């Protein structure tokens, strides 16, 4: 999710997306610990997206 896309969302949508992405990150991280995922770069991208959403809330 790009910063431009996040700017177009209102505050409630950003909060909902942030909660959704945090859950998705936790699931992906757990599945990566059990058996390595095919593309570990997904973890990094999700972390960056979560950071962008959290920054947009400030």
SS3 letters for 3-22? HHHHHCCCHHHHHHHHHHHH
* Options 3.30.1330, 1.50.10, 1.10.287, 1.20.1460; CATH of 3-57: 1.10.287
**Domain boundaries along the sequence of the chain:** 3-57
pLDDT at residue 3, rounded to an integer: 80
pLDDT at residue 16, rounded to an integer: 93
Answer yes or no: are the C-beta atoms of 57 and 14 closer than 8 Å: yes
- Phi, then psi, of 37 in degrees rounded to 5: -80, 160
pLDDT tens per residue across span 10-28: 899 989 999 999 999 999 9
Check residues 46 and 4 and name the one with the higher pLDDT: 46
The overall average pLDDT reported for the chain is 91
Tokens of 39: 């593309």
Tokens of 21: 């992405």
pLDDT tens per residue across span 28-45: 999 999 988 888 899 999
């Amino acid at each position: 999710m790009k910063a431009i896309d996040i700017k177009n969302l209102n505050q409630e949508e950003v909060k909902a997306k942030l909660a959704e992405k945090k859950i998705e990150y936790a699931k992906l991280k757990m599945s990566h610990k059990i058996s390595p995922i095919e593309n570990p770069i997904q973890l990094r991208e999700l972390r960056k997206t979560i950071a962008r959403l959290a920054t947009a809330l400030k």
